[in-house]
Amino acid sequence: MHISEITHPNQLHGLSIRQLEDIAQQIREKHLETVAATGGHLGPGLGVVELTIGLYQTLDLDHDKVIWDVGHQAYPHKMLTGRYHDFHTLRQKDGIAGYLKRCENKFDCFGAGHASTSISAGLGMALARDSRGENFKVVSIIGDGALTGGMALEAINHAGHLPNTNLMVVLNDNEMSISPNVGAISRYLNKVRLSDPIQFITGNLEEQFKHLPLFGDGENLSPEMKNLKEAMKRLAMPKVGAVIEELGFTYVGPIDGHNLSELIDTFNKAHKVKGPVLVHVATVKGKGYALAEKDQVGYHAQNPFNLATGKPIPSNKPKPPSYSKVFAHTLTTLAANNPKIVGITAAMATGTGLDKLQQKLPDQYIDVGIAEQHAVTLAAGLACEGMRPVVAIYSTFLQRAYDQIIHDVCIQKLPVFFCLDRAGIVGADGPTHQGMYDIAYLRCIPNMVIMAPKDEAEMQRMIVTGINYTEGAIAMRYPRGSGIGVPLAEEGWEELEIGKGEILRQGDDILLLGYGSMVTTAMQTAGILSEHGIEATVVNARFVKPLDTELILPLAEKIGKVATLEEGCLIGGFGSAVAEALTEAEVMAKLKRFGVPDILVDHAKPDQSFADLGLTAPQISEQILSSWFAEKPAVVAS
């Protein structure tokens, strides 16, 4: 059978191991071919091909539920659930999403783009099943990296207290998240991986005891014999494997995650276990592609690359350094001269660029694992003792630590510097990763300063500003991808005055207020308007909190027409801050806000998303002309 013939995962039922192995090879070939062409996550999906096939061969997915954690490990799942023929559209506009989406396919039982959610969601489904008196299996698949997230441990703690609720947790243990895992849980799992497999000791012992004379009644064991059975089980199980059992789960494993026979046999037996059961599956990230197996960090995700050599397909023209690289270089340079600076990441060292700090100054670098809440409160503790903690984290992931920002940092006015990577439109990763909400969710918190650079050179100055600011929390947001190509200084960066913007262009017809990445768009818009006889004043706001009202309000009152430009949600964003300031000061100026409306921005190339949202300079110019300068000829969008 060819994978292209599979439109329903139940078609795996009854196939021989040889046929299943052939399908596994076909999945890997399609996976590699697609990601090499489009870019995307590579290593995670390659590592779970056999796990996915083996599990689905033991389930009836017309009824049973499978919940995948994160989602980028679910590419084989997508191919086995009717999306093989469309898989070449992966992460492209109107194509297959890079993560799980309930609206995309009925077999995507739970949407996931962030880690550590699958056990909680699976337990919720299992409890709903039991409440309705239904009978179907629930399986949550989670990686060992995601197991470092507190939410996953909270769910395990809860499930372990429900001995009558059937739930299977499959631990996909490849010793990695994006980068190598850190912490005590990682060390524990490494020990377990080296232990002899433990499988179903409880049931085997109980069956043996029932057939011994004088013990039990043939059906049930006496309390004394139950205690003896548990003691014997502990003797048979290595110490490291007993921890899971102490949490209330039946532990099975570790088993070979690339041996289909062993996987199928183990899953079939595990489905019969009453209560929560954890099946520990040892896999190899990047399995089947030698380059990805060797470099599991580098091949976690890739831009389009040459499949034969593994090398990226070169760009048509050189690009400026990314904001992440500029951030990392600047912070590392500052940290070399200031031992109080500590960079903190939540398992995103390579993504944020903090791997550079780790390499150069390992004693000033901390990776907490996938534990954003802990990262923020850890930073608060460091700040209490006079350190200068820099929490480098994606905008979308900082959402997970919102209470800690308020309760542990801002209420106590602690000087923690939040550096929000991937703020704004991120492209192919879609709604779970778009950094749309940080302006809105941080702006309402007292004792918080919020800034955004117009380019990578200004970013260097903002990093110095953030390090030197000690009156409370301060946050800097910056976009994904390359800078705009301005010259960079190697040192001697001057800090900015808190809450002060700058005028970049003078004009009397309209005031364009740009924030962060949209300052360049504001300047482009001013150029287009000038071609139609409209002269704009352009302000680089720099700060949304505190807003430079001393600069903005007199200009708004004088000019009378104001447009705000931001790469984030309009509700509660930069434009809202300007509207509030105008209202408070009773400045009666016309106002148009350009940003992301109250919608979820789906996966696409960033320029496609900007065009769909009407956020390109020609589109903004046309809207301004048609609304306020109708007598002028309209601009034709290019």
Amino acid, res. 512:
L
Positive or negative, the CA dihedral 480, 486, 490, 496 is: negative
Active-site hit among 50, 175, 372, 567: 372
Please enumerate, by residue number, every residue annotated as part of a binding site for thiamine diphosphate: 72, 113-115, 145-146, 174, 289, 372
CA gap 609, 603 in Å, rounded: 8
CB 40 within 8 A of CB 71: no
User: Residues 122-178: pLDDT tens digits?
Assistant: 999 999 999 999 999 999 999 888 887 888 889 999 999 999 999 999 999 887 545
Q: What's the whole-number mean pLDDT along residues 218-245?
A: 54
Give the list of residues 6+ apart from residue 104 with CB closer than 8 angstroms, or none: 96, 97
Give the list of residues 6+ apart from residue 234 with CB closer than 8 angstroms, or none: 242
User: Residues 163-179: pLDDT tens digits?
Assistant: 999 999 999 988 754 55
Active-site hit among 65, 83, 101, 285: 285
Mean pLDDT for the chain? 88
Strands 138-143 and 40-41: unpaired
Beta-bridge mates of residue 510? 536
Burial group, residue 219, by CB count within 10 angstroms (0-12, 13-18, 19+) = exposed
Residue ranges of domains in the chain, CATH in brackets? 3-200+237-302 (3.40.50.970), 323-477 (3.40.50.970), 502-628 (3.40.50.920)
- Nearest 5°: phi and psi at 491? -165, 180
Torsion of CA 50, 55, 61, 63, to 10 degrees: -170
Assess whether 422 carries a catalytic annotation.
no
Residue 153: C-alpha distances to residues 74, 119, 120, 225 (Å): 22, 9, 9, 31
User: Residues 369-422: pLDDT tens digits?
Assistant: 888 999 999 999 999 999 999 999 999 999 999 999 999 999 999 999 999 999
CA gap 189, 626 in Å, rounded: 63
Assess whether 285 carries a catalytic annotation.
yes
Residue 210: pLDDT band (50, 70, 90) is low
Q: What integer pLDDT is reported at residue 240 of this predicted model?
A: 42
User: Residues 572-627: pLDDT tens digits?
Assistant: 999 999 999 999 999 999 999 999 999 999 999 999 999 999 999 999 999 999 99
Please enumerate, by residue number, every residue annotated as part of a binding site for Mg(2+): 144, 174
Task: Flag the least confident range among 211-220, 558-567, 597-606.
Answer: 211-220
Active-site hit among 78, 400, 477, 561: 400
Please enumerate, by residue number, every residue annotated as part of a binding site: 72, 113-115, 144-146, 174, 289, 372
Residue 455: pLDDT band (50, 70, 90) is very high
Assess whether 400 carries a catalytic annotation.
yes
